Homo-oligomer: A and B are copies of this chain.
Amino acid sequence: MDAATWIAAVSIFTAGLTIAIGSIGPALAEGRAASQALQAIAQQPDAANTITRTLFVSLAMIESTAIYCFVVSMILIFANPFADLAIEAARQAAGG
């Protein structure tokens, strides 16, 4: 079961690393946008509605890159095509 083990180990390590590294950028970017929105509200309270709306659209857009990473991470753990092939091959070898 050596091939499947290698692929599993690489998948686990990559899944964790992907979401870990992939959350740095979006988090910092959301923090920047949110902090600027708060400053903008303090500076121009009358425009709070426009600012909040623009903020949430932007946060959603930034969050999307974190979600790409989360999706790839989940695919690698739960729907990994290479791992499926390797496990199937290992089963056939064991059953053959």
* Chain A interface residues toward B at CB < 8 A: 1-48, 50-52, 54-59, 61-66, 68-70, 72-73, 75-78, 80-83, 85-87, 89-90
Least CB distance, A81 to chain B, in whole angstroms? 7
**Distance between Cα atoms of A72 and B30 in the complex (Å):** 21
Q: Closest B-chain residue to A79, C-beta based? A: B77
Copies per complex? Answer: 14
Q: Are A13 and B10 in contact (CB under 8 A)?
A: yes
Q: Are A83 and B83 in contact (CB under 8 A)?
A: no
Least CB distance, A10 to chain B, in whole angstroms? 4
Q: Are B61 and A58 in contact (CB under 8 A)?
A: no
Q: Which of B11, B47, B80 contacts A48 (CB 8 A)?
A: B47
**Distance between Cα atoms of A53 and B15 in the complex (Å):** 34
What chain B residues lie within 8 Å of A75 (beta carbons)?
77
